[in-house]
Amino acid sequence: MAKKSEKRGYHHGNLAESLLNAVDEIATQFGLEAVTLRGCAKLVGVSPSSAFRHYVDKRALLTAFATRALDQLSRSLEEEKQRAVNNGENAFEAVCLAYVRFALQKPAFFRAMWREEAIYSNDQSYVTASGNLGAHLTGGFADTILDADPTNLSSQELLAWSSVHGLANLLIDGPIGNQQSEEQNLALAAEMIATLQPSVADCLNG
């Protein structure tokens, strides 16, 4: 963890966001269980009382962190899909890879998204963010699969989601990716997605 003199540019003008950055730093190194509001306040360099003015307890802090994670993954899927379409690339493959890449690059965010036992899952901002990501996944897997009912998961959407989510979990918390670089893990993901594509080929969008 960075020494006090080496802190990574936390801006106390936006303390709420700075505390979420501290969650990311602590959780990435030590796991979500190690996160405390007091520990985040110390890392940012403010008093605990200042932190408690933004988040009443650890669950509130982790709820905001999970909400940020959901929002970032939603944006990542949409941006990568649009980039692939603009460049004439395979949008389904791009979205699948973006999902795995998000987990590899932001493991603390990925682990936090659906940890409902650790957050206030009825928080309105969290519910909205979860719904937005759900809309991406049920809406043709970020609009890369033809979808007759965007309110429910089709078998193809479920296959795609469970495949990339399962692989992401195995890479960050399982025995597969521990000894490999991010590049090697993404190459492995690309191979799996290539194997997956024939199963959804008849409903790919475009």
Closest alpha carbon to 61 in 130, 112, 11: 112
Asked if residues 196 and 96 have their Cβ atoms less than 8 Å apart, the reply is: yes
Domain with 120, as residue range(s), is 68-203
- pLDDT tens profile 18-40: 999 999 999 999 999 999 999 99
3 state DSSP class of 51: helix
- Write out the DSSP string of 65-105: HHHHHHHHHHHHHHHHHHHHHHTT--HHHHHHHHHHHHHHH
Residues 42 and 76 occupy one common structural domain: no
Residue 7 pLDDT more than 80?
no
- Work out the average pLDDT over 132-139: 93
Residue 186 pLDDT more than 90?
yes
Residues 109 and 14 occupy one common structural domain: no
> What pLDDT is attached to residue 206?
63
In a domain, 58, yes or no: no
Residue 192, both tokens? 């799996």
What CA dihedral angle connects 194, 198, 203 and 206, to 10 degrees?
50
Percent helix, strand and coil across the chain, each to the nearest 5: 75, 0, 25
In a domain, 60, yes or no: no
In a domain, 155, yes or no: yes
Asked if residues 118 and 27 have their Cβ atoms less than 8 Å apart, the reply is: no
- Name the pLDDT band for 151 (thresholds 50, 70, 90): confident
The CATH number of the domain holding residue 76 is 1.10.357.10
In a domain, 129, yes or no: yes
- pLDDT tens profile 159-170: 999 999 999 999
